[in-house]
């Protein structure tokens, strides 16, 4: 029931009139911080999943098991709805169906399935797409794979920057007809492209990055964009902070002299220390401090 409530919250965002910016999350601590700060939605990107779990670039090395387990950890830690980048579904349409089952069980509020050819084909550089017909099969398999009808399935295409705007629209309309709940576009370069896509389709739109002149939430909302990603700066900032801290310690700085460390109050809130103490008192008979 708790997972369904998260999925219904995501659906209310997609069915609403506003465009929201999700918080990029990748582990139990980051999702709790995003929740505490009031984000309506978390975004678990494929690139940060690969970095957080493997320390590898976004080249389809992470497995479904690893992705789902990380999502499961976040679902346990916080009630914030999370949209998961499920890449190509880790294989063909039958693998997509399994991907949906695993991420649904792990507590995802929604997931995206894309038509990128992954992993990269031998001897080929640059992004390539699978045939549209195969993409349609993947979308149908994704929908068939969910047991909770409130789980959000989003069809994603990067065709705009690979095969052109016209192909992106054809693919989007085909995925729409297949029954997905929303459409995710990457590679949109200008307002004209977004407006053409919005005019040709009917479903809510998720936008994966856009030029600065398209960043205004009111403008995006008017083109039916309900979720607009803004990259994964939190993980980048955390990487820089870890580097600077370890570098200072390696060079002889004392722990007490380090700058930029969280307060004990922030750390305690992130680890839900008050809840743990209350449970220790109730269940273990420990006295509250």
Three-state SS at 61: coil
Q: What is the pLDDT of residue 1?
A: 61
Reference 110, options 189, 180, 161, 52; nearest CA is 180
Reference 90, options 118, 116, 112; nearest CA is 118
Domains of the chain, CATH where assigned = 2-237 (3.20.20.60), 259-289 (no CATH)
Bond into 9 cis (ω within 30): no
d(CA 155, CA 115): 8
Reference 119, options 110, 130, 111; nearest CA is 130
Identify the burial level of 218 via C-beta atoms within 10 angstroms of its C-beta, where 0-12 means exposed, 13-18 middle and 19 or more buried. Answer: exposed
d(CA 39, CA 176): 28
- The DSSP call for residue 242 is H
Euclidean distance between the first and the last CA atom of the chain, given in angstroms as a whole number: 35
Identify the burial level of 38 via C-beta atoms within 10 angstroms of its C-beta, where 0-12 means exposed, 13-18 middle and 19 or more buried. Answer: exposed
Which CA distances in Å does 249 have to 1, 69, 235, 238, 241?
Answer: 46, 32, 21, 17, 12
Three-state SS at 82: strand
Q: What is the pLDDT of residue 124?
A: 86
Which CA distances in Å does 102 have to 60, 95, 251?
Answer: 17, 11, 45
Question: 3-class secondary structure for 192-207?
Answer: HHHHHHHHHCCCCEEE
| pTM for this predicted structure | 0.96
pLDDT in tens, the chain (289 residues): 689 999 999 999 999 999 999 999 999 999 999 999 999 999 999 999 999 999 999 999 999 999 999 999 999 999 999 999 999 999 999 999 999 999 999 999 999 999 999 998 899 888 999 999 999 999 999 999 999 999 999 999 999 999 999 999 999 999 999 999 999 999 999 999 999 999 999 999 999 988 888 989 999 999 999 999 999 999 999 999 999 999 999 999 999 999 999 999 999 999 999 999 999 999 999 876 6
């Amino acid at each position: 029931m708790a997972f369904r409530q998260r999925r219904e919250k995501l659906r209310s965002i997609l069915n609403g009139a506003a465009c929201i910016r999700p918080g990029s999350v990748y582990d139990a601590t980051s999702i709790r911080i995003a929740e505490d700060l009031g984000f309506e939605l978390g975004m678990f990107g494929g690139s940060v999943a690969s970095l957080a779990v493997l320390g590898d670039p976004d080249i389809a090395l992470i497995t479904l098991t690893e992705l789902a387990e990380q999502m499961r950890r976040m679902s346990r830690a916080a009630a914030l709805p999370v949209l998961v980048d499920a890449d190509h579904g880790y294989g063909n349409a039958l693998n997509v169906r399994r991907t949906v089952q695993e991420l649904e069980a792990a507590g995802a509020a929604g997931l995206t399935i894309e038509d990128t050819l992954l992993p990269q084909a031998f001897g080929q550089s640059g992004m390539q797409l699978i045939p549209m017909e195969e993409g349609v099969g993947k979308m149908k398999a994704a929908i068939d794979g969910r047991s909770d009808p409130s789980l959000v399935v989003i069809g994603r295409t990067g065709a705009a920057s690979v095969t052109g705007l016209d192909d992106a629209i054809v693919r989007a309309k085909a995925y729409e007809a297949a029954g997905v709940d929303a459409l995710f576009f990457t590679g949109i370069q200008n307002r004209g492209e977004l407006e053409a896509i919005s005019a040709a389709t009917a479903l809510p739109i998720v936008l994966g990055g856009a030029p600065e002149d398209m960043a205004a939430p009111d403008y995006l909302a008017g083109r039916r964009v309900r979720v607009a990603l803004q990259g994964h700066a939190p993980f980048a900032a955390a990487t820089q902070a870890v580097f600077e801290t370890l570098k200072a310690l390696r060079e002889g700085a004392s722990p007490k002299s380090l700058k930029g460390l969280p307060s004990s109050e922030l750390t305690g809130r992130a680890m839900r220390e008050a809840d743990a103490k209350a449970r220790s008192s109730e269940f273990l008979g420990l006295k509250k401090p």
